[in-house]
C-alpha cells in the first residue's frame, strides 16, 4: 500500500488494478463512498485528468467497488493471498505484493530507502527467496516497528494497518477517515462534484496517509 500510495502521489494516476487494491484498502480503514470519490478526484485532477473526465471515466469504478454499480457487489479489501496469487502487475502497474512481485535487487534498494538495516534486509530477502512472502512482510513489520515478535500471523494489508496503529498508540493516528464518515452522514457530500471544503478535507487525509507511510 505504501508503494501504491507513493505512485499515486507521484503520478496522480493508478491503473485499474492499483485503484482496486488501494481503493479497497482505503475503504477497509474507513473511507465512505463520498470520501473515496473526493480522495481519488482530488489526486487525479493534479495530473492529466480534469474533474469532468474523472466523473465520466473513473467515478464509476469507485462506485462499483462500493457495490453501487454493476452487480452491486460490496467488495472487500484484498487479502495477502489474493494480492500474491492473482493479477500480477505488468509494466506501468503498481499493484501486487512487493515481496512477491519485485525483482530482488529492486526490493533490496526499496528496503534500503525505507531505512531497514542491512541484517534486516538479508533476513527479508532470505524469506523471499524461500517464497515466504507473508513472513517477509511480517519481518518488515517487526523491523520497522522495533518489535522482536509481531505477536500475530500477518495475512491481510488491513490487518497490518490495524496492528501498526495499535503499536503507535496515538502518536500519529489516521482517524480522520473514520471521523469524516460521521460528518458526511450529518452533512452528505455532493456526489457529483465536491465542494471546496470537501476537496480540502480529502487533501488533508492524503497528508495523514503520507505521514503514516513515510514515518513507518
Q: Give the pLDDT confidence score for residue 168 in this predicted structure.
A: 83
Q: Do the beta carbons of residue 68 and residue 74 sit within 8 Å?
A: no
Q: What span, in angstroms and rounded, lies between the C-alpha atoms of 5 and 19?
A: 10
C-alpha gyration radius of the chain: 18
Instruction: For the chain, give the percent of residues with pLDDT over 70.
Output: 78
- Which of left, alpha, beta for 95 (phi over 0: left; psi -120 to 50: alpha)? beta
In a domain, 87, yes or no: yes
Q: Give the pLDDT confidence score for residue 169 in this predicted structure.
A: 72
In a domain, 76, yes or no: yes
Say yes or no to pLDDT of 170 above 80.
no
In a domain, 133, yes or no: no
Kindly report, residue by residue over 92-150, the tens digit of the pLDDT.
Answer: 999 999 999 999 999 999 999 999 999 999 999 999 999 999 999 999 999 999 999 99
Number of domains into which the chain is organized: 1
Q: Give the pLDDT confidence score for residue 207 in this predicted structure.
A: 56
Residues of the chain by 3-state class (helix, strand, coil), percent to 5: 65, 0, 35
Does residue 195 or residue 47 have the better pLDDT? 47
Q: What span, in angstroms and rounded, lies between the C-alpha atoms of 69 and 75?
A: 11
Q: What span, in angstroms and rounded, lies between the C-alpha atoms of 47 and 54?
A: 11
Kindly report, residue by residue over 183-211, the tens digit of the pLDDT.
Answer: 333 333 333 333 344 444 444 555 566 66
State pTM to two decimals: 0.80
Say yes or no to pLDDT of 64 above 90.
yes
Instruction: For the chain, give the percent of residues with pLDDT over 90.
Output: 76
Say yes or no to pLDDT of 17 above 80.
yes
In a domain, 170, yes or no: no
Say yes or no to pLDDT of 55 above 50.
yes
In a domain, 216, yes or no: no
Q: Which of 8-22, 136-150, 173-187, 202-216 has the lowest mean pLDDT?
A: 173-187
Q: Do the beta carbons of residue 18 and residue 94 sit within 8 Å?
A: yes
Residue 45 belongs to domain spanning: 1-95
Q: Give the pLDDT confidence score for residue 184 in this predicted structure.
A: 34
In a domain, 74, yes or no: yes
In a domain, 19, yes or no: yes
In a domain, 154, yes or no: no
Q: What span, in angstroms and rounded, lies between the C-alpha atoms of 104 and 61?
A: 33
Amino acid at each position: 500500500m505504501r508503494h501504491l500510495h507513493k505512485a499515486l502521489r507521484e503520478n496522480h494516476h493508478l491503473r485499474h488494478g492499483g485503484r482496486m487494491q488501494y481503493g479497497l484498502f482505503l475503504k477497509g480503514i474507513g473511507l465512505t463512498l463520498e470520501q473515496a470519490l473526493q480522495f481519488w478526484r482530488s489526486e487525479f485532477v493534479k495530473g492529466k485528468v480534469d474533474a469532468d473526465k474523472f466523473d465520466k471515466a473513473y467515478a464509476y469504478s469507485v462506485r462499483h467497488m462500493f457495490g453501487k454499480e454493476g452487480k452491486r457487489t460490496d467488495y472487500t479489501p484484498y487479502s495477502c493471498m489474493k494480492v500474491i496469487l492473482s493479477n500480477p502487475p505488468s509494466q506501468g502497474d503498481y499493484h501486487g505484493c512487493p515481496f512477491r512481485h519485485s525483482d530482488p535487487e529492486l526490493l533490496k534498494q526499496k528496503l534500503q530507502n525505507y531505512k531497514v538495516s542491512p541484517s534486516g534486509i538479508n533476513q527479508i530477502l532470505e524469506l523471499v527467496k524461500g517464497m515466504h512472502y507473508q513472513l517477509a512482510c511480517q519481518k518488515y513489520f517487526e523491523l520497522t516497528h522495533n518489535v522482536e515478535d509481531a505477536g500475530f500471523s500477518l495475512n491481510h494489508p488491513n490487518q497490518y494497518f490495524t496492528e501498526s496503529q495499535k503499536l503507535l498508540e496515538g502518536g500519529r493516528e489516521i482517524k480522520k477517515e473514520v471521523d469524516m464518515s460521521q460528518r458526511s452522514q450529518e452533512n452528505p457530500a455532493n456526489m457529483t462534484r465536491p465542494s471546496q471544503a470537501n476537496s480540502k478535507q480529502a487533501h488533508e487525509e492524503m497528508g495523514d496517509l503520507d505521514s503514516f507511510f513515510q514515518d513507518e
